[in-house]
A = this chain, B = another copy of it.
Amino acid sequence: MNNKAITPRDQDFAKWYTDVVRAAQLADYSSVKGCMVIEPNGYAIWEKMQSILDKKFKELGHTNVCMPVLIPETLLKKEGELVEGFAPEVAWITHGGSKLLEERLCFRPTSETMFSDYYSTHIRSYKDLPKLYNQWCNVIRWEKETRPFLRSREFLWQEGHTIHATQDEAEKETKQMMDVYKWFHHEVLAIPSITGLKTEKEKFAGAEYTLTNEALMYNGVALQSGTSHYFGQKFAKAYDIKFANVDNKLEYVYQTSWGTTTRMIGGLIMVHSDDFGLVLPPKIAPKQVVIIPIGDDEKVLKLCNKFKEQLSKADITCYIDNSDKSPGFKFAEAEVNGIPVRIEVGLRDLENNTITVVRRDTREKLTTQSNMDIVAYVSVLLDTIQREMYERAKQRRDELTFEAHDLKDIEDILNNQAGFIHGMWCGDQACETKIKEIKGCKSRCILEDENNIDDKCVCCGRQAKYHVLWGIQY
């Protein structure tokens, strides 16, 4: 723990990011190129993400399963677009023990294949539908450039895979799960993400269409944070997933998949953290409150214990730092680790019937009565922090949101500052490709409910069809 080692965010954003990851002990590089170790502080965030999302998935009728991690090459190849999309980044297992395998197996990059294969032998009638399965697991994509949480060869995720008797139901599921991701970002992660439709070029290989959740980082770079795919009957036809409908006629099922990953931890950091380390919204912080006794006077320790007991009972996660480090060291440690609220209890303050409470997000010091209702006080404070973090993130996002009417606008904007760029589009992939030449600027998503800002394409000037959000991405 050494927050002196954190490069200022405004000086070098990329270095700042990896410094925060290291200083808050979230993750570290490993001896395996491109793979990270998720350390206790980072994994605790993932566990909290899992518990909140998993509860929501189950409330919506989903159940968890576990499909094999290995996929035979012939099975993978059944759906052509999927293979093409993933072939360059698949890891191949060729040997079991000292024996060459008859057929090589890939480490799942995603599991449409395995779920489709399973469903094809387990569905007979409309009575078996829908199947609303999800799994929490690891996947591998053989990325060339990697960065902790944002892009690593192995990462953790959840992948939901559902099949339905009707198109309507499957499309509703696709949308519903995107709404869950949006809710999770706005309400829990305090990230004002924007959702919409991916273009044909950017959609998932094999999908009819892809909905995406796009977050904007502090530096104006976009991070795709959750996607939900509607497959129609594509996989059903490739893997022969049929059911007898109410009229006892065989039909192909309608399918969806949707996923979020440990990458969201990277998003959390890049939206909220600062030069002093990690800053976490209270709803996702594994530890919400730290209580630090200054000195070891009995009165001090007694009050600390009382606070801890009362807060714990109210389901506020808190701990007392009674290690033998100095108070200053403990303050800095709690700060770099992003504990939302720090309560300092010292003898001198107690003599004046006060304690000090420090907000991590604003670093504001509050002096308050030592005999107040600690649960009420902290509850309000945590809510305030959560709300204000969202508002600050939204303000930052809005500051970094621009409008472009032609290519020069995009160039001017991106020469100055990355951000979300609103711009109309004719729908021609050639225009998308041309825009990408400007610093790799890509369509983030098509915004469906927004007003048009122009009637001509930002690139070619022809009639515009879509209101698109553009931006540079991680």
Contacts and interface: CB of A to CB of B under 8 A. Distances in A.
Contact of A118 (B37, B65, B133, B142): B37
Given A30-B117, A118-B37, A154-B70, A142 B97 contact: yes
Contacts of A142: 96-97
A91 to B, nearest CB: 5
Interface stretch (A39-47, A168-176, A199-207, A397-405): A39-47
Interface string A29-43: 011100111111001
A87 B97 contact: yes
Contacts of A371: none
A: interface residue count bin: 35 or more
A68 B156 contact: no
A92 interface: yes
A449 B164 CA distance: 58
A93 interface: yes
Interface string A54-74: 000000000111111111100
Contacts of A65: 37-40, 43
Contacts of A28: 118, 122
A25 to B, nearest CB: 9
Given A63-B40, A70-B32, A98 B87 contact: yes
Copies per complex of this chain: 2
A95 B104 CA distance: 10
Nearest to A75: B31
Contacts of A32: 68, 70-72, 105
Contact of A98 (B36, B64, B88): B88
A156 B38 CA distance: 18
A395 interface: no
A97 B88 contact: yes
A188 interface: no
A269 interface: no
Nearest to A30: B68
Contacts of A117: 30-31
Interface in A110-146: 114, 117-118, 122, 133, 137-138, 140, 142
A47 B87 CA distance: 33
Contacts of A133: 40
Contacts of A90: 96-97
Contact of A94 (B46, B64, B95, B137): B95
A313 B142 CA distance: 48
Contacts of A69: 35, 138, 140, 154
Contacts of A118: 28, 30, 37
Most buried by B among A67, A93, A105, A114: A93
Contact of A89 (B39, B87, B94, B97): B97
A209 interface: no
A97 B98 CA distance: 22
A230 interface: no
Contacts of A107: 93, 107
A26 to B, nearest CB: 11
B95 A91 contact: yes
Most buried by B among A68, A71, A89: A68
Nearest to A63: B40
A72 B33 CA distance: 9
Interface of A: 28, 30-32, 35-40, 43-44, 46-47, 63-72, 75, 87-98, 104-105, 107, 114, 117-118, 122, 133, 137-138, 140, 142, 153-154, 156
21 contacts: A28-B118, A32-B70, A35-B68, A35-B70, A37-B67, A37-B68, A37-B114, A40-B63, A40-B65, A43-B65, A70-B91, A70-B140, A70-B154, A89-B97, A90-B96, A91-B96, A92-B93, A93-B107, A94-B95, A96-B142, A107-B107
Pairs A-B, 9 closest by C-beta atoms: A35-B68, A96-B142, A38-B66, A40-B63, A92-B95, A32-B68, A88-B97, A94-B94, A97-B142
Given A32-B70, A32-B72, A90-B97, 11 more contacts: A30-B68, A31-B75, A31-B114, A31-B117, A36-B68, A37-B66, A37-B67, A44-B64, A70-B140, A93-B93, A93-B94
